């Protein structure tokens, strides 16, 4: 089910928790920085600039183009 739908402002921080996965979709996902379980992952790599969806699990990020 959808927990958040909207645009994030520059500099804003959101924290989400899930039992299984978190799915993020939208434009400009390459501009987001990610932290997973207290570990900074950073931004998407150059090859993922056109990503449309990111699925986050306890094991890491999966990028879907």
Has residue 65 got a pLDDT over 90? no
Q: What is the pLDDT of residues 29-38, one digit of tens each?
A: 999 999 988 8
CB contact at 8 A, 27 and 49: no
Q: What pTM value is reported for the model?
A: 0.79
Express as a percent the part of the chain with pLDDT over 70.
Answer: 100
Angle at 56 between CA 31 and CA 19, to 5 degrees: 140
The beta strands (E) that lie in 1-65 are given as: 22-25, 34-36, 39-42, 53-57, 60-64
């Amino acid at each position: 089910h959808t927990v958040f739908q909207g645009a994030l402002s520059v500099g804003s921080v959101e924290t989400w928790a899930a039992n299984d996965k978190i799915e993020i979709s939208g434009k400009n996902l390459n501009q987001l920085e990610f932290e997973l379980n207290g570990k900074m992952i950073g931004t998407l790599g150059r090859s993922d600039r056109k990503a449309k969806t990111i699925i986050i699990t306890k094991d890491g990020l999966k990028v879907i183009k």
